Structure 1
Amino acid sequence: MSFEFPLPDVGEGLTEADIVAWKVAPGDTVTVNQILVEIETAKSLVELPSPQAGTVGALLVEEGQTIEVGTPIIRFGDAGSDAEAGSASGGADESASGVGATEASAEASPASAEDADAGATLVGYGAKAASSKRRPRKGGPVPAPASASAEAPAPAAPPTPPAPPAPAAAAPAEPAPASLGKPLAKPPVRKLAKDLGVDLSQVVPTGPHGDVTREDVHAAANPTAASSADATTPAAASASASGELEERIPFKGVTKMMAKAMVDSAFTMPHVTEFLDVDVTETMAMVRRLKSSKFLGEDVKVSPLLIVAKAVAWAVGRNPRINSCLDGDDIVVKKYVNLGIAAATPRGLIVPNIKNAQAMGLGELAQGIQALTALARSGKTPPADQAGGTITITNVGVFGVDAGTPIINPGEAAILAFGQVRKKPWVVGDEIVPREITTLSVSADHRVVDGEIISKFLADVGRGLEDPTLLLA
């Protein structure tokens, strides 16, 4: 008995995911909760465990595909009850009689594929249960001889010479996918064709097995450029074909989700941004002392961001209205600080948050930031860690930037940008001395907070960084 496992919703309302890497193969025996596959959602990388023990019959989707929640991704079943799955993966044994039946069906398949639309499943892959995705075409131009053999008896009967028998040899030159009407292409190539608006059935394939390649899609999308490249130097043609002059990055996953969130925020909240230059000489001295003394722990990373995070939590306590949001006709002021830290990761920008940061000492807060950033860079931050934030810090200083006007994270009322720390001439008393200076900027939702609240909050953060001993009280 076989069982198909559909893609579950691993987050809150997620509708699709990308198949990143399979951890099992057809024929493998798996146990309950053994990792089957790694998927990428709009929020994080997730490993899916097996819901049951058994034998993997077939992998129903390929790596790189984007599929909707509820789509079957793997079939379980033993070799006896799921032989067709083994055939689809190319690994099932065939009996002597089965071989003959398979050959007969392979002979008849080109005609039936053209005439019976009811048997079509995924475009370019033929029948889903009994045939593999690639094997029927692997011997080269299989479909063409079938059509040629159907016509071969006609010229043999009458002795009239007008129709030469040469087309049988020339038939393989015709593109196989065109004759079937079902183009063969890998999922990334299909995605590229979809992005460029190219109909794969109209593309002449040049792949080794009659499949459409990326170069074929680019040529079909821009035939003028392709023809001009052929007319110019071979180097120019090579550059055009390989796509070296352009790079296309899929707009999906974390990047797409963050883009939507930022658009929603920018066009629903009236942003106002204030700036403040702060002398952080004492903060930097504290950071250096904590690093050298290992006071917070041998493996705890200490950075200026730690003191900024503590200052923000402290300033929120003095200005609680900044830690709020608008919910319908109510302004909800939150008595807890779920402190978001904007993290740039290889998958895009995410904002996980440290729960109840207001109750943490420096050591606990440092460990929280360290664990949060490490998990974010690995791409495995769970959706729960990204939900429920109340106020956010973005550290633009690590990129050598002095200041910015950040966009508020949806569901919050404010975000603070921390600029780079630089030595500048600074007036202390009546003297100009070199001091370590940074620029803070706060963007806030002007529906929820007014200028007075924003200014007091920003001034308190600055005060805490100028004299970090205030944060330890």
Structure 2
Amino acid sequence: MTDQTFKLPDLGEGLTESEVLNWKIKVGEHVALNQVIAEVETAKAVVELPSPFAGVVQQIHAAQGEVVQVGGPLVTFGDEVPAKASEPGPAAGERTPTLVGYGAPAASGTRPQRKTRSAKNPGTPGTPSTERHEEQRRAVTRCTPPVRKLARDHGVDISALTGSGEDGLVLRRDVQEAIDAGGSPSVPAVAEASPPAVAEDRHVKITAVRRATAKAMVQSAFTAPHATEFLTVDVTESMALIERLRTHRLLKDVKLNFTTLAALVVTRLLSTYPALNSTWDEKADEIIEFGSVNLGMAVASDRGLLVPVVKNAQDLPLPQLASALSEIIAQGRAGTLAPAQLTGGTFSITNVGVFGVDAGTPILPPGQAGILALGQVKRRPWEYQDEVALRHTTTLALSFDHRVVDGKEASEFLAGVGSVFEDPGLMNIFI
């Protein structure tokens, strides 16, 4: 076959570039059609790239960590094993992984040299048995690609880390602690009697997600005239309702919380206040009121802030809505969201209360007219039935695009949400 070059495809949603997180192939390796050859990070998500060709890898055009524009070359395939590897060689001191079926790197010519193995020291570093053991350790280390890249860039052996996440998942903070400690925790630090060193500045590379978030926030903040209203409400009855629902036999496998209830109330109430579920179209000189509610849910991840979307959320019953929210939140934290899951939102919710914050002023996602922030739910002295009692309360913050939404409509919407939280029985009236 003639050589064929796989170029970075358009991954959709107007994305123009991607960063290569890691390669799953090497020069000289035979690749099957649709085999996953790399993971790339876009401004939206981490995406696995399948190969559109079958053949032998002749050349890899981009190094790990390199940003490639859409249409830029990634891999060239042919039908013969290349005489000389064209990808960059390993840095000094690094172990060169051995490709199964190809042997160790050739010293000269096209034939690989055999590597002499010692029977006396099968566990010596660099021998095949030790390398297989190292690869096995790496295979069981659970982490997201951005965290693995952070460890690799700073010379941290991620297989030696103990993950603090769920089921031993290695998180960014685990790697950062190892970096701050001077590398892999498996190598004990040598105590020296010396004066404390002056802390050096740390330069953190801007990720694709962080760059896209910054661009979107600046665009939104300086395009849409924001206004924010606050309302503190007694949610004691809502919290009691959630506890009752959690023990219901039909909902025993559903993850219910205050955010779930807020999503249900908001998506139903928006039909009464369509301006908050709309967008300002400057080019068409019109306001578009959306026919469905595509609910965005802000998720804090190791890659930065993500806002995955549940499409047609207004039609989902509580169990299905709760499951959909749990799924996109888990995918967002794991970095497995597809780009299509991060676009098309018409109204968003952000829960700053999970960080112990009472309130905040959220910035609108571009193209949306409203976003509701949920503060932490905590017990406070509150007037109840003409007496002061400890009640569960929270502060709601609604930011809206004042070009589209008038203060009256925003106030009525926020008051309506608060009324349902105070008395969930009103759902039958307002929703």
**TM-score, reference length from structure 1:** 0.66
Partner of 1:289: 244
1:268 aligns with 2:209: no
Partner of 1:465: 421
1:251 aligns with 2:266: no
Give 1:212-231 correspondences, 5 Å limit: none
**Deviations 1:360-382, CA, capped at 9 Å, x for gaps:** 11101001101110111111212
Q: Within 2, Cα distance between the matches of 1:397 and 1:353?
A: 20
Q: Within 1, Cα distance between the matches of 2:338 and 2:348?
A: 18
1:85: Cα distance to partner?
Answer: 4.6
1:84: Cα distance to partner?
Answer: 4.5
Partner of 1:37: 38
Report the residue type matching 2:83 in the other structure.
A
Partner of 2:18: 17
1:86: Cα distance to partner?
Answer: 6.3
Query: Does structure 2 conserve the Cα–Cα contact (< 8 Å) formed by 1:83 and 1:92?
Result: no
Q: 2:109 aligns with which of 75, 94, 113?
A: 94
**Deviations 1:394-429, CA, capped at 9 Å, x for gaps:** 100000000111111111111100000010111122
Partner of 1:52: 53
Partner of 1:117: none
Query: Does structure 2 conserve the Cα–Cα contact (< 8 Å) formed by 1:26 and 1:57?
Result: yes
1:60: Cα distance to partner?
Answer: 2.4
Q: Within 1, Cα distance between the matches of 2:110 and 2:287?
A: 72
Partner of 2:179: none
Q: Within 2, Cα distance between the matches of 1:304 and 1:20?
A: 36
Partner of 2:7: 6
Give 1:5-154 correspondences, 5 Å limit: 5-79=6-80, 82-85=82-85, 91=106, 94=109
Partner SS, residue 318 of structure 1: coil
Query: Does structure 1 conserve the Cα–Cα contact (< 8 Å) formed by 2:60 and 2:86?
Result: no
Partner SS, residue 408 of structure 2: helix
Query: Does structure 2 conserve the Cα–Cα contact (< 8 Å) formed by 1:314 and 1:471?
Result: no
**Deviations 1:210-267, CA, capped at 9 Å, x for gaps:** xxxxxxxxxxxxxxxxxxxxxxxx968x957xxx522211123011111111111111
Partner SS, residue 48 of structure 1: strand
Query: Does structure 2 conserve the Cα–Cα contact (< 8 Å) formed by 1:20 and 1:37?
Result: yes
Partner SS, residue 24 of structure 1: coil
Query: Does structure 2 conserve the Cα–Cα contact (< 8 Å) formed by 1:58 and 1:88?
Result: no
Identity %: 46
Q: Within 2, Cα distance between the matches of 1:42 and 1:235?
A: 44
Report the residue type matching 2:14 in the other structure.
G
Q: Within 1, Cα distance between the matches of 2:87 and 2:242?
A: 63
Partner of 1:320: 274
Q: Which has the larger radius of gyration?
A: 1
1:74: Cα distance to partner?
Answer: 1.4
Report the residue type matching 2:41 in the other structure.
E
Q: Within 1, Cα distance between the matches of 2:425 and 2:335?
A: 36
Report the residue type matching 2:290 in the other structure.
K
CA RMSD of aligned residues (A): 2.6
Query: Does structure 2 conserve the Cα–Cα contact (< 8 Å) formed by 1:424 and 1:436?
Result: yes
1:62: Cα distance to partner?
Answer: 1.7
Richer in helix (by share): 1
1:55: Cα distance to partner?
Answer: 1.8
1:306 aligns with 2:260: yes
Query: Does structure 2 conserve the Cα–Cα contact (< 8 Å) formed by 1:307 and 1:468?
Result: no
Bigger relative CO (Cα 8 Å, ≥ 6 apart): 2
Partner of 1:423: 379
**Deviations 1:424-452, CA, capped at 9 Å, x for gaps:** 11112211111100000101111111110
Q: Within 2, Cα distance between the matches of 1:347 and 1:471?
A: 37
Partner of 1:393: 349
Partner SS, residue 18 of structure 1: strand
The answer to which of 326-335 and 438-447 deviates more is 326-335
Unaligned runs of 5+ in 1: 97-186, 192-233
Q: Within 1, Cα distance between the matches of 2:310 and 2:242?
A: 21
Count of residue pairs brought into register by the alignment: 335
1:392: Cα distance to partner?
Answer: 0.6
